[in-house]
Structure 1
Amino acid sequence: MRERPETEAIEMEIVPRAGDIGGFEVARVLPFRKRRMVGPFIFLDQMGPSRFTPGTGLDVAPHPHIGLATVTYLVEGEILHRDSLGNALPIRPGEVNWMTAGRGIVHSERSPDAVRARGGAIAGLQAWVALPRDGEECAPAFVHHDDATLPVIVDGGVNARVIAGAYAGARSPVAVASETIYVDLNLAEGAAAPIDAAWEERALYLYSGGVEIDGRRYDPGRLLVLAPGAAITVRAVGGPARLMLMGGAAMDGPRHIWWNFVSSRRERIEQAKADWKAGRFDPVPGDDDFVPLPE
């Protein structure tokens, strides 16, 4: 990763580092050494785009989480989600899985059998949202919203799907634990979208296509952290562009993150490590594999 000061509107530019999960490449955007969170977002991976050959697929075995909500959003492909609450269902492009770990949950993410048999592409974003301190130990929960339930704003060459929070007069039905904004913005070539200063902390993840802000061009595959209080306009240049607006209110204090655990207290993470190693988390029905605790 690297960071670079930008214009008055852009506080920081973060270029992801490459990683691997479940047998395919990801781009790790957050956390970053000089920027741990943007609003409640404490983790962001771009998954793919990757293509699996017939007979292969995504295989993220059961693993635990505490103190956060995972937010899965696909651009292409399909993933079968299973969790320790007994949920088992696929997620497809335009839909959202919002899984609240709270005091502890276990889940797996795999390619469905039919998808695995024929092969195919997968691409999308996996984000983690930290929970407020008074909600870190809440009961685990899982909610799936299909594409018909998430509002879409179409204005000229701008197509915006509101995943969480409110944007351009539309509000997502996804329940959030603190003020959150998460929007999938698709811009036709030359189209522009305003990004106002209504949210305390904001960033734009440039998923595909080039954009221009304050007369400067930015290429895809980077996170632009916006300066507080700066209203900007983002325009697609050289073709269509896709970007994610994300952020919200600053968190109520720092968070510790280790592996899949997030907490305001280090000792809570140590307890979660011990619980996973000792097999004290609930299992995932129908998926007996597991990811061992990293050494």
Structure 2
Amino acid sequence: MIVRTLLFALPLLWLAPPASAAVTPTPTLVYAFSRFEPYKTVDTDGKPGGPYTVLLQELARRSGVQLDIVHCPLQRCLALLQRGQADLSIGIRGNAERDRYLDFLDPPFAPPTATMVLQRHDDPRPIRHYDDLYALRVGVVEGASYFQRFDDDRLMRRDAAPSARLALRKLAAKRFDVLLINAQQGRQLSRELGARQYRRAELQFPGELPRRIALSRLSPAVQAAKPRLAAQLQQMLRDGSVRRILDGAAVQAAHAGSKRSGRSLHSMSTPH
């Protein structure tokens, strides 16, 4: 009986996988998250969300990778990406400096969006041309990139705020004269903070670059995953998943903004 049992067990040993054939752990990518309403938001419990975060989470799921989120101010997020301590981010515009350490995933997930110029509602000064800005204190968000001419302009008087929300408050408090802001973000936040305080100047700048997911050039993990991420993003664009994520979130943001302001809204553009 003992011999028969051993003979029966021997074939099973051949079927058992070797220790080296153990299941490979799921790769993990670190997402450097900086708040950028309404695209990257934080709920009352401090949990990151918003359509850009949902898009990355779905892309990671389809690509078979785990996404860990690190919440950081924009400049800190950029530093993490520059050192390869974070793998990817979204809602970050490329420029000459950033392109040294950031690689951008193709295909783009959305077209460019405009930059608007906001004034206080009671400010009568007409702002129609770029040169009109030289006489003003121009509000910006720390670490943000806008468009090449403005980014490279060393003569422009800038005054920075840590976030777009604080920048709008500084504008209302007359800490600066105008604010440059992503058009969609400007509409959303001005409604939340009181639409009657602000008005849009005639001057507006068209978007220059389509929107892409940013990858750290110094991250071996994300560079290895890049072909898979690109293929899955292409599929998400093809099957309409990206559009549904962005459009669905835009509708929710518009509804929430209209409730807060009590005003009707025009249609909202795709997030930046």
Q: Same fold (TM over 0.5)?
A: no
Higher strand share: 1
> Where on the TM-score scale, by shorter chain, does this alignment land: which range?
under 0.3
Higher helix share: 2
- TM-score normalised by length of structure 1: 0.24
Higher relative contact order by CA 8 Å / sep ≥ 6: 1 or 2? 2
- TM-score normalised by length of structure 2: 0.26
